[in-house]
Every structure is written in structure tokens, then in C-alpha cells.
């Protein structure tokens, strides 16, 4: 497991807390662990030497929670923006139909918004708004999933 350790005033990322020990203390520690030799006083002195490396989990967890809250807020902002873009596109698409295509017909089942499902009735600008609507729906869904994953995994949303 990777941990962030502090070695003589410098923060380092390490997979093992004893990597930042001085070479002499590391050799003593490895010798005590592998051979299980030495007195209790030697073990305590080598443990005291290894205490120079303090794993800062108390400082990492609030940072991770703050990052999770920022991601949730960003997902919320992106979701709201995508929702507004989708509404604007839904209002705009029926106005960009080809000339001669009526709004209320049996072909569209008497609903002007059903022109979204008939790209052959739209102009090039209407097709552009149709793609914009699709992207807005996908962005909204992705931001919803990302916000839920971060919120549930960090216990912010219960």
C-alpha cells in the first residue's frame, strides 16, 4: 500500500515506511527482523530510529474528502449546465425543420418534439442542435454517475 511519509522534513511517496530510514537504521532494522536477534533495548532503539518516518493518514483523509466534495460540486455544475443546454436544444430543434414540413402531423404523432427522431425532416442547423441535445444528455448522465460514485464512496451522500 502506498503511503505518504515524512522523512527529515521532506514529504515523499513510498510503498514502505522504512525506505526513508537512514541506511544504518535500515540495516539494523532489517537485521532484527530477519534474524530476530538483539535485545529489547536494540529493538527499541531501532524502532525509535524508524519513527522518523511518520505516515500522515490524518492529513490525507481530509484532503481526499475535500477533493471528493469538489468533484461532486463540479459534477453538479456540469449536470445543471447540461440540463439547461438540453432544454434550449429541445426548444430550438422544432424551429429548424425543412421548409414544407408541418409541425403537427400524424407522421410526428401530433407532437412537435417528435421531430427529434426524424432527422430527415431537419435542416443542417437542426441536425446540429440534435447532436447538441445528444451530447447534453450524455454529459448529464455521466455527471450524475460521477457525483453518485464519489458521494457514496466517500460517505458524503448517505
Task: Give residue-wise pLDDT tens across range 32-85.
Answer: 554 444 455 455 555 555 555 555 667 777 888 888 899 999 999 999 999 999
Q: Can you list the positions of beta strands (E) in 25-158?
A: 54-55
d(CA 73, CA 147): 8
Say yes or no to pLDDT of 4 above 90: no
Q: Give the residue with greater pLDDT, 12 vs 135.
A: 135
SS3 content of the chain, % helix, strand, coil (to 5): 70, 10, 25
d(CA 87, CA 72): 23
Here the contacts of 116-119 (C-beta below 8 Å, separation 24 or greater) are 116/90
Amino acid at each position: 500500500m502506498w503511503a505518504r511519509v515524512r522523512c527529515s522534513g521532506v514529504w515523499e511517496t513510498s510503498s514502505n515506511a522504512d525506505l526513508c530510514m537512514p541506511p544504518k537504521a535500515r540495516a539494523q532494522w532489517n537485521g532484527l527482523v530477519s534474524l530476530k536477534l538483539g535485545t529489547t533495548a536494540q529493538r527499541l532503539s531501532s524502532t525509535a530510529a524508524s519513527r522518523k518516518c511518520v505516515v500522515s493518514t490524518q492529513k490525507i483523509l481530509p484532503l481526499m474528502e475535500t477533493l471528493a466534495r469538489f468533484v461532486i460540486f463540479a459534477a453538479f455544475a456540469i449536470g445543471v449546465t447540461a440540463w439547461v443546454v438540453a432544454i434550449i436544444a429541445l426548444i430550438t430543434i422544432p424551429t429548424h425543420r425543412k421548409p414544407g414540413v408541418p409541425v403537427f402531423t400524424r407522421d410526428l404523432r401530433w407532437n412537435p418534439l417528435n421531430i427529434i427522431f426524424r432527422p430527415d425532416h431537419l435542416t443542417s442547423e437542426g441536425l446540429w442542435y440534435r447532436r447538441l441535445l445528444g451530447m447534453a444528455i450524455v454529459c448529464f448522465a455521466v455527471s450524475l454517475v460521477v457525483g453518485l460514485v464519489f458521494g457514496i464512496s466517500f460517505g458524503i451522500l448517505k
